[in-house]
Amino acid sequence: SCTRLFTTILKTDLQKAEPNPAHLAITRLQNEYKNGTVSVVTQNVDLLHEKAGNRNVYHIHGQIDQAVCMNCGRVITTWGEVTTETVCPGCGVPAMMKPNIVFFGENLLRMNEVDALLDKCRLLIAVGTSGAVYPANTFARIAKYHGADTVELNLHTTVNNYDFDRHIVGRAGETLPVFVDELLAETSRFFDPRVSFPEKRRRRNLESEGAVSALSSRFPPRRSIPGFVRCRDSGGRVFWR
């Protein structure tokens, strides 16, 4: 079938692919960033993030090196071909395995975890996405609603550019390493006791004085977002539309 041919060719090509400087810049950011945990939410089904050494990677469109049983939900790792003769090692039922990538009309993966990340996100960086595909194109708006700074790096202006505080135009392999350098330099200054950051210091003072409510009121728990409705799919996963 066309799908079988597509995934077979795709698997062959992706096994040969190597990370670019943008992937490596993320690894450096994760290793050296001092102001929180860096997570990666990707729509790509390849494993270039993992090849580059990225951690905390959430594949919302699945992974090309996996297959999933539509009968029992068992996920296996395989670069081999999945056919109608493939038997699920979990339930033993044949002809129910499919590549663990999201096809048209299927629910995205790991959205409950992504939802939790957006709740506590303080800096969202969108790299190389058009901003036209739902629901990923809502991530920046949701994070920004909860107080996050938002930055986009892209070749062109995106359709949801109004959700971002900063816009960097250019190839990700060229722009992201430079941005990471800037970000790490900024956080290094923040953690240098000789440098004063009045706003951040003011927040720390408020917290130490028990005035946490003055800050939490700025970032209330997400119960509603203007223009969005919180929904759950048949599997109990949360999404916004």
* Residues noted as catalytic: 61
CA distances from 98 to 82, 103, 152, 206 (A): 6, 10, 34, 53
Which residue do the tokens 């809502």 mark? Answer: 138
Do 118 and 142 contact (CB within 8 A), yes or no?
yes
Do 158 and 130 contact (CB within 8 A), yes or no?
yes
Which residue do the tokens 């599997």 mark? Answer: 235
Do 24 and 52 contact (CB within 8 A), yes or no?
yes
CA distances from 158 to 9, 39, 98, 132, 153 (A): 30, 22, 33, 8, 10
